Structure 1
Amino acid sequence: MQSQAQTSAVPPPLTGARLLMGSFAVALATFMNVLDSSIANVAIPTISGNLGVSVDEGTWVITLFAAANAVAIPLTGWLTQRVGQVRLFVGAILMFVLSSWLCGIAPNLVTLLAARILQGAVAGPLIPLSQAILLSSYPKEKSAAALALWAMTATVGPIAGPALGGWMTDSYSWSWIFYINVPVGLFAAAVTWAIYRDRETATRVLPIDLVGLASLITWVASLQIMLDKGKDLDWFSSPVIVILAVVALLSFLFFVIWELTEPNPIIDLRLFKRRNFLAGTVAISVAFALFFANLVVLPQWMQQYLAYPAVNAGLAMAPLGIFAVLLAPVVGRILPKSELRVLATLSFLGFAGVFYMRSQFSTGVDMFTLVLPTLLQGVPTALFFVPLTAIILSGLPPEKIPAAAGLSNFVRVFCGAVGTSLATTVWNDRAVLHHARLVEQASPGNPLYAAALQSIESTLGFSPAQAAAYFERGLNTQAIMLGLNDIFWISGVIFAAVIPLIWFTKPDKGAASSTAAAAH
């Protein structure tokens, strides 16, 4: 094991080809990780059909990955000091490759979910370590540029995921959305090790909060399973859901009390006493939950109710990346000179406007109307992550930044999983409500209903029973559309409602630059 003395000197920034290749390898590993957070979105109907499960059960492929990823993030600090930054990063990439291969060969849903949980867990260190390694490769005065590069990579992954996943699912099979990680991961691991192995950080033996970790896993797992199974089991009318809710609540309360009294907590909850951290973390987590949930439900709706092939649904989501990528370097340049709260507010207003546009969709929506909000969403996406992250870390002493970054990432990623589960549930509930309201009008005594049936019979040559079934299918499709409109409308309202939280913060002047420098 390396000693503290052996690795105490901070290595100089990289230059030339080593900087280029190192940045590319680290960015590629980041891209691979965030890509897997969304690449399965458009493949869920296909995976569900192939494995003989419902689409709701197939969505667990997304939510369980995110939940496992969230739980693993707080362990990054302890693992880094125990193993070393570079070894942990490369090891996590290789384990990610292995778990991706296991996902691809999974013969049933249980095996696939087990592999996805492993994949999410080993992916935990990749995001925070990619930031740290990338920042250590650049001079301090270029920290903002390094963060902009990281943000561009982290933004493109979830955006490219649906398009790439749709193409692979239609052209080959859903297994290839996981197999693609194997060559990419092996290349990234090899190049990263070749360039950074002599830049390893110091290691030391630290105690680990096993009780805190166990209680964290217990309440996160109980809550996530409750949210995923609630609709199928009719929520609290089911003893299973009641038990899961009680376990989640009690283990969460125990977790909070334990972490506040433990001298070496796995999560430093005392950080929430700081207004910038509290308000910023709540804002970014709520926003990410809405952002990610809509990335899941929109492709599902296009495939199930607009009859889009997986590749077309993915391509319809792809324009999200155009402005996000083009504006990322611009944001990196203007960030040190800008009022962070203004940038974050503009981002939230942009998201609210985009979701309002989507709330006007109808069952006959054309491709231009479908794609336009997605294209425009790239603008607030570019203004989203970096300003809010700088606000969250503003005012913290350098030694607190790693713990704060890990905790805020944990909350954000976990809220993404919870948001997805809630969105699918609310969508179903609102669709049922709209269906009931529409059915009230479809009674034999309603002359408009009778005229509609007669029109269907005469136009399509259907019998009365066939005409009624045809009308019911159309009514169900309309109810699903209205339910989705509600999701979009509610999302827009919440984005606007969260804006005051941004202005509750008081980031220091030059917070973006000082935070990036402290990360060194």
Structure 2
Amino acid sequence: MADVTPATPSMRNAVAVPSERISPRRLFAFLIMVFGMFMSILDIQIVSASLAEIQAGLSASSTEVSWVQTSYLIAEVIAIPLSGFMSRALGTRLLFAISASGFTIASFLCGFASTIEQMILWRAIQGFLGAGMIPTVFASAYTVFPRNKFHIVGPIIGLVATLAPTVGPTVGGVITDWMSWHWLFFINIVPGIGITIGVLALVDFDQPDFALLDRFDWWGLITMAGFLGSLEYVLEEGPQYEWLQDTSVAVCAAVCVVSAIAFFYRVLTAQEPIVDIRTFTNRNFAVGCLISFCVGIGLYGLTYIYPRYLAEVRGYSALMIGETMFVSGITMFLTAPIVGRLMQKVDMRLIIAAGIVIFALGSWQMTSITRDYDFYELLVPQILRGIGMMFAMVPTNNIALGTLPPERVKNASGLFNLTRNLGGAVGLAVINQVLNERTDLHISRLHDRVTWGNAAATETLNMFTQKFSGAGDASLMAMKQLSQIVHRQAVVMGYGDAFFILTVFYFGLSLLVLLLNKPAALSSPEPAH
């Protein structure tokens, strides 16, 4: 007798088992979505090299202009885990179209912002709406395509997730140098419209389940926003304001703790939680998220530390920084297809471990950094960084998401992408703290050594005094010059310490792959059910 049990909404919303062949229509639709994800991730870092120009254009203070980036990050980190529920309720097609169109409109408004307050508001909206595109692409990659095609789609999304933040400063520097900072946002408009139209016309991956919206957990959203938003603020602002010694940071830390308790209670007791954290009971997903978190530290941390060194010590312009940083981007692009082929033949746990070790070696080469490090001294470390990041990221994506049941991937994708972004936030906070503390320590130690009893210091001071003779108070100017040299050397030593900490951390992290269960080979087709 035939089974006539009616389909439940969750069954209707589940993605059908994909065929072994990728249809051109679906592949083209997926690539359109990937480009949308690229834009969303790129916009995190695209303003980083141009904050000075935005500050001047909007007559903002240095504290205010930092919120151009912070507001985007806070809004994005709240929206990413929310995307799992919204994707099930609205379907991939509608959610992605709303995200792409909203991101495009907000970009348009950012470009026309005339005050810093307007810019911060539109950037927050841009980050919140654009965030929906990131986990939706990850979820589609691991549900729409058959398992034996993951070696193709996996490197594509892995490349975009790592390449976009890496080339962000490069793209931003070039656009600002050639045109103006307004075009950092206007450049999104035409592609954004094309992506919206393309998704509406081509995406047919699943069906919406609008009934879920009736059970939307508003308390879950409020507590999650309080938890993640305040956490992001504390990590962003803490290092420069002495952490809890600053009132706003202390208040946000308290809000974070209270909201976190309320959030975890809510998602564990609600009938339809806004985020299903029970997915972490899957061992490979949990360990994969932990590796993703740690990889995020290096991905966003080094995208920050290299440009800062080049600007602060070498005095590079935004365009010169972008040209120097582009090495990692090219390396990632060339490494992606190699990783895809290796995933078919080699245990993915070994690829991840190799990637983390290669990344650590790249950081190790920077521990001996001096103030003379230029493009060629940074070349090999950046190549190793690009190779290591791709080797670590792509198989981790597959192990964490590619082995889950299809109906759990949408929710899991939001959590997985959240861990990478939170890792980046933690990485930036730790790196800033290390640079501040170690620079102060080295300044103190160098000042103790630069005394009248130090022959080299005395000789250098006399040389500067002769150089400035006849130009006012030569002795005072010579002391200032010597002090600047001491400070610059202390800063460089601080960078060396930060790279050493990253080296030790990533060598230790490579052992984490021992906790992963061995995944099935990608080359074997899915067994019939």
TM-score (norm 2): 0.88
* Match in the other structure for 2:209: 203
Question: How does 1:368-387 map onto structure 2 within 5 Å?
Answer: 368-387=376-395
Task: Output aligned runs, 1:214-233, within 5 Å.
Answer: 214-233=222-241
- Taking the aligned partners of 1:448 and 1:338, their CA distance within structure 2 comes to 56
Does the alignment pair 1:467 with 2:478?
yes
On the 8 A contact 2:236/2:425 being kept in 1, the answer is no
CA gap of 1:337–1:402, structure 2 versus 1, over 3 A, is farther
Please give the per-residue CA displacement for 1:86-135, whole angstroms capped at 9, x wherever unaligned.
Answer: 11111111111112222223334433332222122112220222234456
**Counterpart-to-counterpart distance in 2, 1:398 and 1:50:** 48
Query: CA 1:382–1:408 in structure 2 vs 1: closer, same or farther (change >3 Å)?
Result: same
Equivalent pair of 2:361/2:384 in contact (CA under 8 Å): no
CA gap of 1:62–1:491, structure 2 versus 1, over 3 A, is farther
Residue 428 (structure 1) aligned with residue 436 (structure 2): yes
Structure 2 letter corresponding to 1:61: V
Structure 1 residues 59 and 484: alpha-carbon distance in aligned structure 2, compared to 1, 3 A threshold: farther
Indicate the larger mover: 346-355 or 331-340.
Answer: 331-340
1-side partners of 2:421 and 2:347: how far apart?
Answer: 26
Which stretch of the first structure deviates more once superposed, 136-145 or 459-468?
136-145
Tell me what 1:308 maps to. 316
- C-alpha contact (below 8 Å) 1:162/1:315 kept by paired residues: no
Superposed displacement of residue 208, structure 1: 1.8
- Residues 1:320 and 2:328 are matched in the alignment: yes
After TM superposition, the structure 1 stretch with the greater mean CA deviation from structure 2, 22-31 or 338-347, is 22-31
Q: CA deviation at 1:267?
A: 2.1
Q: Which amino acid aligns with 2:516?
A: T
Point out the more displaced range, 221-230 or 406-415: 221-230
- Residue 410 of structure 1 corresponds to which residue in structure 2? 418
Match of 1:70 in 2: 77
Letter in 1 for 2:480: A
**Are the aligned partners of 2:371 and 2:489 in contact in 1 as well (CA < 8 Å)?**
yes
Distance 1:9 1:299 in 2: 43
For 2:70 and 2:434, locate their aligned partners in 1 and report how far apart those are by CA, in whole Å.
16
Letter in 1 for 2:323: L
SS in 1 for 2:494: helix
Distance in 2 between the 1:228 and 1:460 partners? 42
Q: Does 1:105 align with 2:112?
A: yes
- After superposition, the Cα gap between the structure-2 partners of 1:332 and 1:231, relative to the gap in structure 1 and judged at 3 Å, is closer
Instruction: Report the alpha carbon displacement of residue 320 of structure 1 after superposing the two structures with TM.
Output: 0.6
| 1:34 corresponds to 2:41 | yes
Structure 1 residues 56-113: Cα deviation after superposition (integer angstroms, max 9, x where no partner) = 7644433442332221112212212322211111111111111222222333443333
How far is the alpha carbon of 1:347 from its aligned partner?
0.7
Counterpart in the other structure of 2:508: 497
- Give the drift of 1:323: 2.5
Deviation at 1:257, TM superposition (A): 2.4
Q: Which residue of 2 aligns with 1:362?
A: 370
Q: What aligned pairs does 1:11-22 form with structure 2 within 5 A after superposition?
A: 15-16=23-24, 18=25, 21-22=28-29
Q: Tell me whether 1:156 sits opposite 2:167 in the alignment.
A: no
Runs of 4+ in structure 1 off by over 6 angstroms are 3-9, 11-14
- Which of 280, 289, 292 aligns to 2:288? It is 280
The structure-2 alpha-carbon separation of the partners of 1:417 and 1:102, relative to structure 1 and needing over 3 Å to count, comes to farther
Q: CA RMSD in A?
A: 2.9
Find the counterpart in structure 1 of residue 409 from structure 2: 401
Q: Secondary structure at the match of 1:478?
A: helix
Q: 1:182 to 1:333 in 2, by over 3 A?
A: same
Q: For 1:323 and 1:191, locate their aligned partners in 2 and report how far apart those are by CA, in whole Å.
A: 30
Go from structure 1 to structure 2 and tell me whether the alpha carbon gap of 1:493 and 1:233 turns closer, same or farther (over 3 Å shift). same
Give the alignment partner of residue 82 of structure 1, picking from 81, 89, 107: 89
Distance 1:146 1:287, change over 3 A: closer
Seen in structure 2, the aligned counterparts of structure 1 residues 131 and 279 have a Cα distance that, compared at 3 Å, is closer
- Cα distance, 1:429 vs. partner? 2.5
Distance 1:59 1:113 in 2: 9
Residues 1:121 and 2:128 are matched in the alignment:
yes
Deviates more, 1:323-332 or 1:440-449: 440-449
CA–CA distance in 2 between the matches of 1:363 and 1:53? 31
Q: Does 1:237 align with 2:245?
A: yes
Match of 1:507 among 486, 494, 518: 518
Q: 1:495 to 1:50 in 2, by over 3 A?
A: farther
The alignment's TM-score, normalised by the length of structure 1, stands at 0.89
Aligned 8 A contact 1:395 1:508 in 2: yes
% identity of equivalent residues: 27
- Looking at structure 1, the residues matched to 219 and 144 of structure 2 have their Cα atoms a distance apart, in angstroms, of 36
Deviation by residue 1:204-256 (Cα, 9 ceiling, x = unmatched): 31112222211111122222222333344433333333322222112212222
Deviation string 1:350-389 (CA, Å, 9 cap, x unpaired) is 1101111122221112320023311232211221222112
3-state SS, counterpart of residue 377 of structure 1 = helix
Higher mean C-alpha deviation, range 46-55 or range 309-318: 46-55
Q: Which amino acid aligns with 1:298?
A: Y
Alpha-carbon distance, 1:8 to partner: 8.4
- The 1:238/1:366 distance shift into structure 2, 3 A limit, reads closer
Counterpart AA for 2:408: K
1:343 pairs with one of 344, 351, 361: 351
**1:413-459 CA distances to partner (integer Å, 9 max, x unpaired)?**
12212322332233222222222222222345544433221111224
Inter-partner Cα distance in structure 2 for 1:127 and 1:208: 21
